[in-house]
Every structure is written in structure tokens, then in C-alpha cells.
């Protein structure tokens, strides 16, 4: 990460990571496809309406894992082996303890939140059941993501990909078996997802336990070092809180979608799943930027900061534009995979063309945030994102949507918020960059 041409290396780093994200998305996609094709539109809507709540908690800890990534990357570049050891063992301990705590948080809040979000009576029971089973697997979800963040920090994106590939195959097989053979419906896909998360978590943990270098995990030495955890949270907490507020704004949006009925809910669920696959490519570039920037800053290679950002914007365009274009062109066919009801497809296509058709704008904003966090600035990008994305969307719903109540106007808040936020992040990047030297602290 510290020498040579950037764009090819960033793409080599990002592509396996994007594929890993796609495989994670396949866990949920397999759920909704099986339910939409073999159960009912109501079952599809039920699982789709839970995604905002699931993301609220899961993305919070994925955000915290950003702190793990940055600390491991910078300490690794500085050859600070003792700090790498402490961060790795604190991260593993935190993922296990926090995962157990959030089993109870998730189960306890499932029904009240579904009621709060205005989930229709005909789907609420299924939504609550799916959530309660899903959150039993929270320790496995956090363990995988924290472990994968450790591996990504030193450039290893391939092994997490292989593990997700295996777990994803298991998930699909179990989905089909539980739903078709045992008629378990929503409960069946939730159990299949939890089993798959368990498999991927154990494979990542096994890898870290067998490492011969400074990343090796020794279970008897796993503990939560308060000082290290505070440093991890100082970097990762803003990203986690940002993800939480993202999810809260999405829950507000989901509540608005719910008001348009079950067809709109099912169409939005299918479209959002397709959008997530498109976003995975650009999010992988954000992760690459985070790792590349943090290692170069840690090694004093300041001259590469701007070059990394430029290469990541190029990579985001290379991956994002073709994906979003293909998703829009083949939208009807892709949506029909989830549900073959013409009304559901038409509703989903409306969302797909507006949101997915402009998704690269979201990628540009995320890449800028990756540079800022890699330089150690985590708080201000969070504030900018909260105001430019979450705040603007909520204001949009309370004002513009009330004046022009339609799904088209509701979905339009996404590209508008991305443009505003990206411009604000770019301005802040220019300010923070001036605090770092233009030349390297050490000779290449």
C-alpha cells in the first residue's frame, strides 16, 4: 500500500472486498427471493420492513470496526507489534460481548419498533419473528465483521471472500430446504441466515488463531483493554453513530413507504436489495481508501494522500457506473426474480430508476469520508453526513413529501442528499488536507 501505482492496487484490493459484500448481501437476498417466490408478497414485505432496524444495530458495530481497521493499519505500518496485538484481542473480545448484549436488545425491541414504524397488521407478526431469530445470531455477525476488519487492515481481502462464499452456499441450500420442504416460511430463512453467519464467523476466527504473525489471536489472551477500546471508539464511534442515524432516517423513509401499502413495501424491498449489490462495489472502494490512507499516514507517506483519493474516485466510477446502468436496464428482469407480481415489479422499478440510477453520487461522498477517516478525522465527517443525508431526508419527508405525496418525490430525496453531502465533504477534505505536509516524512 505504501509504494507503486495506486489504481491497479486499489482495484485488486476492492474487487475481492466487493465480492465479499455481495456474498453478504446474498444472505438477505436469498431470504427475500425464497419468500417472494415460494411464500407470498406479504412475507417479502415483512422481511423487507425489518432491514432498517437490522441495519441500525449491525451497521453501528461495522462502524466501530472502522476504528479497528485504522488502528491496526497505522500500527502495522509503524511496526508497533504490541499495539496490533492489543487491538486485535480487544476487537475480538468486544465483538463477542457486544453481540451477546444485543441479542437481548434486538429481541426486546423487535415488536415495539415494528409497531412504531407502522408495519401493517398482516405482516407484523412475521416481521417480529424474523427479527427475533435473526438477532440470536448477532455475536456471529459482529465476530465476522471485526475479524474481517483486522484482515483488511493489512490487505487481506481474499480469505474473508472465500469464507462468505462457502457460508452463502449453505445459506441458500438451507433456505430452500426449510421453506420448501418444511414450510417454515419466515422462521426458516431467519434460521438459515443465522447458521450461515455462524459458519463465516468461525472460519474468520480460525484463520486469526492460526496466523503466525502479529495478527494471531490467542483465545486465552482475549480481553477488552479499556484504553485500546476507547481509542478504537474514538475513531470508529462516529462512523457507528453515523450508520445509526442513517438507519433512523431510513426507518422514517420506510414508515413513509409503509403508508403506500403492501405493494409499495414489496417493490421497495426488492429494489433496495438490487441497489445494495450496486453499492457494494463503491463501498469496497471506500474501505480500500480507508486502509490505504491510514497506512500511508502511519508511515509518513503524506504525498500519496491526494493521489489515493483521486485513484479511489476513479475506481468508484469504474465500478459504480456500469453496475448502476446494468441494474436500471435489466430492472424488470431483476425485480421479477424477487416477485413476479406486475404491480410489485412496477413499484420496484420506480425506486430503482431514481435511486440506483444515481448511486455513484453516494460513492463519491463515501470515498471522501474514507480519506478523512484515514487521516484520523472521524467526527466532522459524521456531522456533515448527519446533516447532509439524514437531516435533509427527514426535513424532505416532513415538508416536500407532505406537499407532493408520491413515491417518486419520496425517492428523490436520495440523490438530492448525496449531492449536497459530497460537496460539503469535499470542502472539508480540502481544509483537513492542509494540516498535513505535502512531502513525505520518510524517504520511499
pLDDT at 333: 92
300: left (phi over 0), alpha (psi -120 to 50) or beta: left
pLDDT digits (tens, 9 = 90+) for 315-345: 989 888 998 999 999 999 989 888 788 888 9
pLDDT at 420: 93
Coarse DSSP helix, strand, coil percentages of the chain, rounded to the nearest 5 percent: 85, 0, 15
Choose among 196, 231, 222: nearest CA to 64. 231
pLDDT at 97: 93
pLDDT at 115: 85
pLDDT at 444: 45
CA dist., res. 254 & res. 125, Å (int): 17
CA dist., res. 36 & res. 96, Å (int): 33
Cell of 142: 459482529
Asked if 291 contacts 153 with a C-beta cutoff of 8 angstroms, the reply is yes
**What's the length of the chain?**
444
pLDDT in tens, the chain (444 residues): 667 788 888 888 778 777 776 766 666 666 777 877 788 777 877 777 777 677 677 777 777 887 888 788 778 877 888 898 999 999 999 999 989 998 998 888 888 888 887 777 778 888 899 989 988 999 999 999 899 888 887 877 788 878 888 888 888 889 888 988 888 888 998 899 899 999 999 999 999 999 888 889 998 999 999 999 998 888 788 777 776 776 677 777 878 888 888 888 888 888 887 888 888 888 888 888 888 888 888 888 888 888 999 999 999 898 889 989 999 999 999 898 887 888 889 999 999 999 988 999 988 998 999 899 888 887 888 889 888 888 898 899 889 988 998 889 999 999 999 999 999 999 999 999 888 888 887 554
Residue 180: C-alpha distances to residues 12, 45, 130, 139, 271 (Å): 39, 19, 17, 28, 24
pLDDT at 203: 95
Chain position carrying cell 474501505: 287
Contacts of 322 (CB under 8 A, 6+ apart): none
Q: What is the DSSP code (8-state) at residue 2? A: -
Cell of 335: 425485480
Asked if 14 contacts 287 with a C-beta cutoff of 8 angstroms, the reply is yes
Chain position carrying cell 413499484: 347
pLDDT digits (tens, 9 = 90+) for 149-198: 888 878 777 888 788 888 888 888 898 889 888 888 889 988 998 999 99
CA dist., res. 396 & res. 411, Å (int): 10
Q: In the chain, where are the structural domains located?
A: 7-433
Asked if 281 contacts 10 with a C-beta cutoff of 8 angstroms, the reply is no
CA dist., res. 141 & res. 99, Å (int): 8
Query: b/e string for 219-252 if b means 16 or more Cβ within 10 A?
Result: eeebeeeeebbebbeebbbbbbbbbbbbbbbbbb
pLDDT at 280: 80
With residue 360 as reference, give the H or E element that holds it. helix 359-374
Amino acid at each position: 500500500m505504501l509504494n507503486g501505482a495506486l489504481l491497479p492496487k486499489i482495484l485488486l484490493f476492492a474487487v475481492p472486498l466487493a465480492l465479499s459484500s455481495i456474498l453478504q448481501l446474498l444472505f438477505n437476498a436469498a431470504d427475500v427471493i425464497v419468500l417472494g417466490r415460494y411464500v407470498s408478497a406479504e412475507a417479502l414485505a415483512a422481511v423487507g420492513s425489518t432491514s432498517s432496524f437490522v441495519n441500525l444495530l449491525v451497521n453501528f458495530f461495522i462502524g466501530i470496526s472502522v476504528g479497528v481497521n485504522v488502528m491496526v493499519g497505522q500500527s502495522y505500518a509503524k511496526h508497533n507489534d504490541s499495539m496490533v496485538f492489543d487491538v486485535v484481542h480487544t476487537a475480538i473480545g468486544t465483538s463477542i460481548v457486544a453481540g451477546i448484549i444485543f441479542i437481548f436488545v434486538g429481541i426486546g425491541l423487535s415488536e415495539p419498533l415494528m409497531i412504531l414504524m407502522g408495519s401493517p397488521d398482516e405482516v407484523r407478526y412475521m416481521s417480529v419473528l424474523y427479527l427475533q431469530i435473526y438477532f440470536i445470531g448477532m455475536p456471529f455477525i459482529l465476530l465476522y465483521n471485526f475479524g474481517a476488519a483486522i484482515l483488511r487492515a493489512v490487505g487481506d481481502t481474499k480469505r474473508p471472500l472465500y469464507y462468505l462464499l462457502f457460508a452463502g452456499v449453505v445459506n441458500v441450500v438451507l433456505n430452500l430446504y426449510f421453506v420448501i420442504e418444511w414450510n417454515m416460511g419466515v422462521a426458516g430463512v431467519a434460521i438459515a441466515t443465522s447458521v450461515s453467519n455462524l459458519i463465516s464467523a468461525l472460519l474468520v476466527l480460525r484463520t486469526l488463531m492460526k496466523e503466525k504473525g502479529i495478527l494471531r489471536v490467542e483465545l486465552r489472551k482475549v480481553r477488552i483493554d479499556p484504553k485500546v477500546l476507547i481509542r478504537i471508539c474514538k475513531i470508529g464511534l462516529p462512523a457507528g453513530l453515523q450508520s445509526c442515524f442513517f438507519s433512523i432516517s431510513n426507518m422514517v423513509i420506510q414508515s413513509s413507504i409503509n403508508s403506500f401499502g403492501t405493494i409499495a413495501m414489496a417493490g421497495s424491498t426488492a429494489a433496495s436489495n438490487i441497489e445494495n449489490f450496486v453499492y457494494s462495489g463503491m463501498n469496497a472502494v471506500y474501505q480500500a481508501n480507508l486502509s490505504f490512507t491510514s497506512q500511508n499516514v502511519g508511515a509518513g507517506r503524506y504525498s500519496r494522500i491526494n493521489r489515493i483519493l483521486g485513484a479511489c474516485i476513479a475506481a468508484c466510477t469504474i465500478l459504480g457506473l456500469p453496475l448502476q446502468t446494468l441494474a436500471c436496464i435489466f430492472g424488470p428482469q431483476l425485480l421479477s426474480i424477487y416477485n413476479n407480481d406486475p404491480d410489485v415489479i412496477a413499484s420496484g422499478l420506480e425506486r430503482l430508476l431514481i435511486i440506483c440510477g444515481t448511486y455513484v453520487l453516494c460513492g463519491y461522498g463515501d470515498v471522501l469520508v474514507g480519506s478523512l477517516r484515514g487521516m484520523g478525522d472521524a467526527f466532522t465527517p459524521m456531522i456533515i453526513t448527519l446533516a447532509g443525508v439524514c437531516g435533509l431526508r427527514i426535513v424532505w419527508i416532513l415538508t416536500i413529501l407532505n406537499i407532493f405525496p408520491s413515491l417518486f418525490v419520496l425517492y428523490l430525496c436520495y440523490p438530492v442528499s448525496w449531492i449536497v453531502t459530497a460537496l460539503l465533504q469535499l470542502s472539508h477534505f480540502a481544509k483537513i488536507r492542509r494540516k498535513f505536509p505535502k512531502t513525505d516524512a520518510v524517504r520511499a
